[in-house]
Amino acid sequence: MDRIEIKISLVIIIVALLLILIFGFNTKAGGTEIVKDPSEFYVASGCVGQYYSFLQANDTNALMTILDKEYIKKNNINSSNVYEKLEGSNNLYTFSPTKAYRQKISENIIKYYIYGNKQIETIDDSQIVDEDKYVVTIYKINSTYTIMPYTGSLFD
């Protein structure tokens, strides 16, 4: 994916985040519920798509910016070892989201638990390699997000 496609994807995600900010949420703090709104689902899962784009474009600075700070600290990730610590940097993977849950942390912070299929792209077609889970945290106050691979049991 070239830089123009990455920039276009980033602009789309930012616009979608702004739409969510404008229309707001009705979730009470703390509760986790399935995401039913298609535009909200697209925004949250689009963050995972952006993560895959940065990973495959070897954009270390972008990855270090969007990775969750606690995840970075817990896994001792830095700009020198980020590709060793993150799965999928050596292959052309795509992510197809299947469901997402939302948890309102505060008025300005929404956490999404996104579940989907990781596929490897080949010349002929794509094959499902694995099921993946991610946590995307959206910060409404400054229209940013962080992401981390998820290994918990919320989806089970």
CATH of the domain at 133: 3.10.450
The answer to the question of residue 154 being in a domain is: no
pLDDT band for 136, please (50, 70, 90 cuts). very high
Q: Percent of the chain beyond pLDDT 70?
A: 75
Asked if pLDDT for residue 106 goes beyond 80, the answer is yes
Domain total in the chain: 1
What is the tens place of the pLDDT at every residue in 21-64?
A: 554 444 444 578 999 999 999 999 999 999 988 988 889 999 99
Residue 155: inside a domain: no
pLDDT of residue 71: 92
* More confident site: 107 or 31: 107
Q: In this structure, is residue 101 part of a structural domain?
A: yes
pLDDT computed for residue 120 by the predictor: 76
User: Of residues 30 and 75, which shows the higher confidence score?
Assistant: 75
More confidently predicted of 82 and 130: 82
Q: Is pLDDT of 5 > 80?
A: no
Average pLDDT, the chain: 81
Q: Domain of residue 116: give its range.
A: 3-149
Domain assignment present for 123 = yes
Q: pLDDT exceeding 90 applies to what percent of the chain?
A: 44
155 pLDDT above the threshold of 70: no
Q: For residue 146, give Cα distances in angstroms to 18, 46, 112, 139.
A: 16, 12, 10, 8
State the average pLDDT over residues 75-80. Answer: 92
